[in-house]
Structure 1
Amino acid sequence: MTRSSHSLRTRDLGYAQRVCVAKAGKLMMQTGQLTPRARVGLAVSGGVDSLAMLAVMAIRRRIVPFPVELLLLHLNPGFDPHNHRPLVELCAGLGIPAHIETTDFGPRAFSEENKKNSACFYCAWLRRKRLFDLCATYGLTHLAFGHNADDLAATFMLNLFQNGRVDGLSSRESFFSGRLTVIRPLLLIDKPTIVRAAKAWELPVFSNPCPMAGKSMRHEAETWVRSICAGDKHRNVSLQHALGRWQLDRDALPD
């Protein structure tokens, strides 16, 4: 048994880990993210958020009162074709099957093939399309992403100032006439808590070899949020709580 799989036992969880598991569970229940016999693909990039989501979902799978299947989906963008190796041991320790493949999406995004879009947009579009294809291939009913409360704030700002619309990140949204549901279990959890939980779980977080790491429009939006909240922790908490309530109202289940 690996250290990570051992520390996923509920009685071994520290404070940050318990917060992640509890908040994710509450959001999943409020928004109906899981259903009996759900087959969930976990989109794991190797970053701290998606790995924490993997740990949380491995625990929630044992808590929910109905059977749920999990499948890890990892698409290596092709900048470093070997950095995903720790995922193999991690999934074996957790007892979660995995689909791991190395793609050429990253290099293609920076090639002559992509003349109209930003490299980040094109790479993300290729990855999303492939994830949807894999969901169809494996007969998955749900696709989970590791977006958190900081991502919600950054996306809101990016849509507001760059795209001229009021929009965030849905915690649950339907695709392909209801055949697939995208869920974001960590959407109301702040990044520092996720980082602390991932360290406690000793998750094998990857470095990001993309040339655009830290230079994307999303990173710029994150900088805007940090600037707005600089020097005032309460301001950041208020922003995240307000956007979280607003997003939950939009995602509310019909009566």
Structure 2
Amino acid sequence: MNAVWTEPEAPAAAAPSHQAAAKIERETHKLEKRLCREVGRAITDYNMIEEGDKVMVCLSGGKDSYGMLDILLKLKARAPVNFELIAVNLDQKQPGFPEDVLPAYLKQVGVPFHIEEQDTYSIVKRVVPEGKTTCGLCSRLRRGILYRVADELGATKIALGHHRDDILATFFLNMFFAAKLKAMPPKLVSDDGRHVVIRPLAYVAEKDLVRWAQHREFPIIPCNLCGSQENLQRQVVGDMLRDWERKHPGRLENMLHSLQSVAPSHLMDGTLHDFKGLKPTGVASDDGDRAFDPPELPPVPAMPSAVQVVSLG
């Protein structure tokens, strides 16, 4: 099943006389394969899309949601299950929002779509004091509207465009500011208990989405509501993650894998592990102290006997 989800068709070979163009084409094809593979792997790992699903793809006009829709359309053509896609944009009536851009793009790619017009911009500006972060209230208003629209459209899944780096940034934001080990799950039941929300880009690196958006020339629409909030903690944490990745390539991938390999017995949450009730069992366990040892450590050498210790003196 994974192969059907993830393998894109090979492009036509470039003319040998155009080496530079051929190299760009090869790199672009590798990027497309990687995006399809990672989205397909996430869908398979978490059973995100099932036979007969109607997936509501939330499209903001940013690179991430454009990329999500684009890759889902590619996978739909060869997926092992039949499903529908419908793109939904929430027009929040931000000043200067180009209302014609998304409809024109969606008509061009031939995907069914719905534009929901709700003036959440005025509400946020009225309620949130000047200089304060608008993201929290904006997100709650947007979420409630999208749940209602999903009901009206008969959508069985709601797809959001959060990628790997968003998930890791949320993990650190919750740790630093909410004192919780909590991130964005790849799949969850919505707040109202009536919808399944999925994040098909859960394994996708943001830098790949940047490159794909440039290649596909998506008509990006900036978010003027929050774009001026340059000191948002999410941006600070995002800068931290990008700096780590530059200095230590592969670190973010390891961090993502850690969220999939949790050892409750080596944390401190008594609701997940019965620390109070622990008793010696007399049976060796790989989950004991040895779990702290890095895998590359050599075996512990045998200690000398008491007789040998005395003789050495």
With normalisation by structure 1, the TM-score equals 0.83
Once residues 101 and 30 of structure 2 are traced to their aligned partners in structure 1, the CA distance between those partners, rounded to angstroms, is: 25
The aligned residue for residue 77 of structure 1 is 92
Once residues 14 and 87 of structure 1 are traced to their aligned partners in structure 2, the CA distance between those partners, rounded to angstroms, is: 26
- Counterpart check, 1:149 vs 2:164: yes
The aligned residue for residue 136 of structure 1 is 151
The aligned residue for residue 102 of structure 1 is 117
The aligned residue for residue 250 of structure 1 is none
Once residues 219 and 165 of structure 1 are traced to their aligned partners in structure 2, the CA distance between those partners, rounded to angstroms, is: 19
Q: 1:89 aligns with which of 78, 96, 104?
A: 104
Once residues 138 and 90 of structure 2 are traced to their aligned partners in structure 1, the CA distance between those partners, rounded to angstroms, is: 11
1:58 touches 1:94 (CA, 8 Å); kept in 2?
no
Q: 2:233 aligns with which of 184, 209, 217?
A: 217
The aligned residue for residue 238 of structure 1 is 254
The aligned residue for residue 30 of structure 1 is 45
Q: Deviations over 1:153-208 (max 9, x none)?
A: 10000010111100111111123786421100111111111111122222212222
Once residues 245 and 217 of structure 2 are traced to their aligned partners in structure 1, the CA distance between those partners, rounded to angstroms, is: 30
Once residues 228 and 176 of structure 1 are traced to their aligned partners in structure 2, the CA distance between those partners, rounded to angstroms, is: 33
Give the deviation of 1:213 after TM superposition: 4.5
Q: 1:44 aligns with which of 45, 53, 59?
A: 59
2:133 touches 2:232 (CA, 8 Å); kept in 1?
no
The aligned residue for residue 175 of structure 1 is 190
Q: Deviations over 1:40-64 (max 9, x none)?
A: 1001111111100010111111121
Secondary structure in structure 2 of the residue aligned to 1:110: helix
The aligned residue for residue 21 of structure 1 is 36
Secondary structure in structure 1 of the residue aligned to 2:48: coil
1:46 touches 1:84 (CA, 8 Å); kept in 2?
no
The aligned residue for residue 204 of structure 1 is 219
Secondary structure in structure 2 of the residue aligned to 1:96: coil
Give the deviation of 1:84 after TM superposition: 4.3
Give the deviation of 1:81 after TM superposition: 5.2
Please list every run of 5 or more consecutive structure 1 residues that lacks an aligned counterpart in the other structure. Answer: 1-8, 248-255
Distance 1:80 1:20, change over 3 A: farther
Computed over aligned residues only, the root mean square deviation of the Cα atoms, in angstroms, reads 2.3
- Counterpart check, 1:187 vs 2:212: no
The aligned residue for residue 283 of structure 2 is none
1:146 touches 1:184 (CA, 8 Å); kept in 2?
yes
Secondary structure in structure 1 of the residue aligned to 2:77: helix
1:81 touches 1:102 (CA, 8 Å); kept in 2?
no
Q: Deviations over 1:88-109 (max 9, x none)?
A: 1221222211111333212311
Letter in 1 for 2:85: L
Once residues 10 and 101 of structure 2 are traced to their aligned partners in structure 1, the CA distance between those partners, rounded to angstroms, is: 25
Instruction: Compare CA radii of gyration and give the structure with the larger one.
Output: 2
Letter in 2 for 1:138: L
Please list every run of 5 or more consecutive structure 2 residues that lacks an aligned counterpart in the other structure. Answer: 1-7, 12-27, 263-313
With normalisation by structure 2, the TM-score equals 0.69
Give the count of matched residue pairs: 236
Give the deviation of 1:221 after TM superposition: 2.5
